[in-house]
Amino acid sequence: MPMNDLLARHQLARLNAQNAASPEDRATFAGLEAYYAERIEAWREALDLPRAGWPAASDSPAARAD
């Protein structure tokens, strides 16, 4: 799944959890949020990116490859 889709689905799951009509729905959406967060974290780790934000241009994997 493309990263933009993962980020969008994570955000939607978070919003749905916050606005859930029942505790069961809240738990379901919170589980989805955690699932997408794990996939995003795995993607960041695979590319050696920081856990939060974006690396400085000189710290990016592409810059280190040169």
Give residue 39's pLDDT: 96
How many other C-beta atoms can be found within 10 angstroms of the C-beta atom of residue 58? 7
Res. 14 pLDDT band, cuts 50 70 90: very high
Q: With H, G, I as helix, E, B as strand and everything else as coil, classify residue 66.
A: coil
The amino acid present at 5, given as its one-letter code, is D
Tell me, yes or no, if the pTM score tops 0.85.
Answer: no
Tokens encoding 60: 């990016």
pLDDT-derived band of residue 51, with 50, 70 and 90 as boundaries? confident
- 23-46 vs 3-18: helix axis angle to the nearest 10? 150
Q: Is the Cβ–Cβ distance between 54 and 44 less than 8 Å?
A: no
